[in-house]
A = this chain, B = another copy of it.
Amino acid sequence: MYRPKIKVIDCTIRDGGLMNKSNFSLELVRNVYKAVCASGADVVELGYRNSKKMFSVDEYGPWRFCDEEDLARVVEGIKSDKTKIAIMQDAHKAVPEDLLPKEKSVVDMVRVATYVKDIDKAIKLANNAVEKGYDATINIMSISVAIERELDEALQQIEEETKISACYIVDSFGALYSEDIDFYVDKYKKYLKNKEIGVHCHNHQQLAFANTIAGIIRGANYLDGTLYGLGRAAGNCPLELLMSFLKNPKFDIRPLLETIEKDILPLREKICWGYAIPYMITGILNMHPQVAMTLLTKSEDNPEKNDYLKFYEKLTAEQTED
């Protein structure tokens, strides 16, 4: 009934870190890591390995950089052989030399996030990771605004110039419907003969889980999820739903339920993720959610915070300006 080739990747700390500048406590990261390992997920992504030249260490927490000594503190006494450890490098915000040779690191997989325009940088970073002994993926962000000819060319390059395990469809804007997922998976299949296809979805239109299922049905085998959907803006595909759907007996959602209750729910006092009308509006308009995040994080007494109609009319007016 289940498909053994499917790999489930938890990216709670990494994507959730976009909501709090990666300022999670070590204890929380350890708890999440432990629970995700116990659940049988294939991969857990613990943050970004981005450059300290491009992010201030005073402003951003440790999981924006994932120094090896910080990762060692996370896994100490927990380390599981079944669940691989991933970090993410942003193609435009990371450098190859920040990656040690694999044998000197607890990391197993490097995921390179990129816009189509930065594909050459991404390929360089991905090849650097593979040469140093890591498993690597390339995750093409904001795919719903990619120019199709450029995307096709990028996929062709990825096929010819890299040895990555998987290439992702990343719906950063939460703008895609299931038929769009079908379209992109088919396109990826056409170009990528020897690589798996991944899907990373956002929940602006409450479709993150559904679009992940659509990806599965169409042939994607690398699936991203986060605990209780924690992630940028409306968040991601909830890992607990995904794992329950997959039916693979190696998965156990019970450790996830426990850490959601103890570690994730309390975060809601400070971080607002999940479906909200401003995110829905950027989703249906196929726009980056930053403008909605700014609206929602304005001070509580801002009278415009909940003026949805005004927000919608402002964005649609901007989109239709000459």
Contact = CB atoms under 8 A, between A and B. Distances in A.
Interface of A: 177-179, 203, 205-211, 213-214, 217, 228-229, 238, 240-241, 244-245, 253-254, 257-258, 260-261, 265, 274-275, 277, 280-281, 284, 306-309, 312-313
B307 A213 contact: no
A121 B306 CA distance: 45
A277 B238 CA distance: 10
Contacts of A213: 177-178, 210
Work out how many copies of this chain go into the complex. 2
Given A178-B214, A245-B177, A254-B313, A240 B277 contact: yes
A257 B306 CA distance: 10
B241 A257 contact: no
A241 B206 contact: yes
B210 A178 contact: yes
A178 to B, nearest CB: 6
B257 A308 contact: yes
B308 A261 contact: yes
A96 to B, nearest CB: 38
Given A178-B178, A178-B214, A214-B178, A206 B238 contact: yes
A213 B209 CA distance: 14
A253 B285 CA distance: 13
13 contacts: A178-B217, A205-B209, A205-B245, A206-B209, A206-B210, A206-B229, A207-B210, A209-B210, A238-B280, A241-B280, A254-B313, A261-B277, A275-B275
A244 B284 contact: yes
Contacts of A209: 205-207, 210
